Amino acid sequence: MHSDRKYIKRRIRGSYITSTLSLMLVMFVLGLLGIVVLYANRLSDLIKENIGFEIIMKDDVKEAEIVKLQKSLDILPSVKSTEYITKEEATHRLITDLGEDFVKWVGEDNNPLLPSIDVRFRAAWANNDSLAIIEGLLLADSHVKEVYYQKSLVHSINSNLARISFVLFVFSALLLFIAIALINNTIRLSVYSKRFIIRSMQLVGATENFIRTPFVFRSVLHGIVGALIAEFLLTLVLLATGENIPDLLLLKDINLILQLYGVIIFISITISAISTYFAIEKYLRSKTDDLFA
């Protein structure tokens, strides 16, 4: 009898460990995918925010008018940053790029370069439709000679990013479905190993709530432990990749990663609790003969 009791306790403890490890592995894989999605979105935003306008001003425009236009752009919600480039600065940059002074060949009076404002937009506005509207408004300004940006490049970037986002979304949904199925099956097997304990509790007069509550509470605890272990491993992965690939640090957003960790804990707890609840319900409603099936 004593050896049977020890055997049962060992099986129950083993089922708890298996359940927690399964949760941890599934949450770790989901977390990895979540980090990939976060980094992909961050990279997408950085790429889009490097899309911008070069607003070419007319040669006779006073500097005060250009600064006024720049300040009016700075307050727009669509604009991330602006830079006023004087004619002298534009000339200096071109000389640096060419490696020779082209002004002495064309003459100072024939210098074709004009003052300009370099504008960078926030990611949400970096698409052809929004840029076309802003372009039209700028060209209506009498001080603006030309607005330049690469329309085909903007379209190509947005199209490619949209395709990548769709693939990641489909893959995430598929992996989440698989994760739910795996966790549900693991918990059902764990509860299955305790079906006779549930029936014994019913026979001594325990209410359904009294039987169900400790199982659900324990599953929530396992969900938290599994998620925390997964997050610890994810943190190690992030630290390792940051040391080996320093450029990834530019994409890191601590607030988003903390939110992801919160979502991982929530998913782990929710799936564990719901799966345990329905698994317990099955055996609470089962006939004695069905327990041997």
Among the residue ranges 9-13, 168-172, 190-194, 257-261, the one predicted with the least confidence is: 9-13
CA 162 to chain centre: 15
Q: Are residues 36 and 57 in the same domain?
A: no
Read off the CATH number of the domain in which 91 is found: 3.30.70.3040
Please name which of 78, 146, 64 lies closest in space to residue 112, comparing C-alpha atoms: 146
- How many domains are contained in the chain? 2
DSSP string, 151-210: HHHHHHHHHHHHHHHHHHHHHHHHHHHHHHHHHHHHHHHHHHTTHHHHHHHHHTT--HHH
Residue 102's pLDDT is 57
CA gap 278, 292 in Å, rounded: 19
Q: Are residues 79 and 128 in the same domain?
A: yes
Q: Are residues 201 and 82 in the same domain?
A: no
CA distances from 84 to 56, 121, 148, 279 (A): 10, 15, 15, 66
The pLDDT mean for the chain works out to: 78
Q: Are residues 272 and 135 in the same domain?
A: no
Residue 47's pLDDT is 80
Q: Supply the range of the domain harboring residue 66.
A: 52-148
Among the residue ranges 91-95, 108-112, 184-188, the one predicted with the least confidence is: 108-112
- pTM of this structure: 0.68
Chain segment 172-192, per-residue pLDDT in tens: 788 778 777 777 777 777 776
Q: Are residues 34 and 172 in the same domain?
A: yes
